[in-house]
């Protein structure tokens, strides 16, 4: 199923790049809360994620996730659906004590001629 989700999201031109800094020694608890409470809602409202990562070198205790969108309007519509979902506040309450900081970036795909497949 993960391969199917990644294939669906791979062609999105706009990406929501999120970095959560998690309290020291709380990453396991955060991931469990995120997976149990947020993921069912996020899959329903945001669609398929591009993926999830944790930091290993440099700034530690970071959880990174990427979600792809067709446009800024698509992002805004899906983010509103997420924020208005009746169960989302339970995730926010359960994770609040685990998160030290959050960064959110919207990034656009850059096209490089050197990486384009020859015609």
Tell me the CATH number at 63: 3.30.70.100
What does pTM read for this prediction? Answer: 0.84
In a domain, 115, yes or no: no
pLDDT tens digits for 82-99?
Answer: 999 999 999 999 999 999
First to last CA, the chain: 32
DSSP letters, 69-119, are: ESSHHHHHHHHHHHHH-TTHHHHHHHHGGGEEEEEEEEEE----GGGSPP-
- Asked if residue 38 belongs to a domain, the reply is yes
Is 95 domain-assigned?
yes
Segments forming the whole domain that contains residue 89: 2-107
Number of domains making up the chain: 1
Q: What is the pLDDT of residues 2-24, one digit of tens each?
A: 555 445 555 789 999 999 999 99
**Closest by Cα among 12, 9, 103, 78 to 50:** 9
CA 106 vs CA 11, 61, 68, 97: distances in Å: 15, 22, 10, 25
């Amino acid at each position: 199923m993960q391969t199917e989700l990644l294939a669906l999201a791979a062609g999105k031109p706009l990406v929501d790049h999120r970095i959560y800094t998690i309290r020291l020694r709380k990453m396991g608890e955060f991931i469990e809360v995120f997976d149990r409470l947020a993921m069912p809602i996020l899959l329903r409202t945001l669609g398929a994620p591009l993926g999830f990562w944790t930091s290993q070198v440099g700034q530690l205790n970071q959880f990174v996730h990427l979600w792809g969108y067709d446009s800024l309007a698509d992002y805004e519509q899906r983010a509103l659906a997420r924020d208005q979902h009746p169960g989302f506040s339970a995730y926010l309450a359960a994770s609040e004590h685990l998160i030290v900081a959050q960064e959110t970036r919207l990034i656009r795909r850059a096209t490089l001629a050197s990486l384009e497949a020859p015609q």
